[in-house]
Amino acid sequence: MRILECFETTFGDPARRLLEGEGSTLSQFQEGHERAWGEWLAGLGKKLTDDIVLFAERFELVDAA
């Protein structure tokens, strides 16, 4: 894996390049991340809100040979 870019964005208004990289619409992105992280965050007494900052990485797969 080769890291192409790292950046911060918010859950409520994620950077377009993040949505494009995941092939998601805003609602698909938010619903998927709520399913993936919601229970874990709830166990910490937290939840995903629009102002939560996300750290994103864009990457590409490279040949391991």
Please compute the mean of the pLDDT values over residues 50-54 and round it to a whole number.
95
Q: Is the pLDDT of residue 64 over 90?
A: no
- Residue 43: the pLDDT is 96
Look at residue 11 and tell me if it is in a domain: yes
- Residue 23: the pLDDT is 94
Look at residue 21 and tell me if it is in a domain: yes
Look at residue 65 and tell me if it is in a domain: no
Look at residue 15 and tell me if it is in a domain: yes
pLDDT tens digit sequence for 11-35: 999 999 999 989 999 999 999 999 9
Token pair 């797969």 is found at 61
The domain total for the chain is 1
Look at residue 10 and tell me if it is in a domain: yes
Token pair 């619903």 is found at 31
Q: How many CA atoms lie within 13 A of 45 on its CB side?
A: 0
- Tell me how far apart the alpha carbons of residues 58 and 40 are, in angstroms, rounded to a whole number: 24
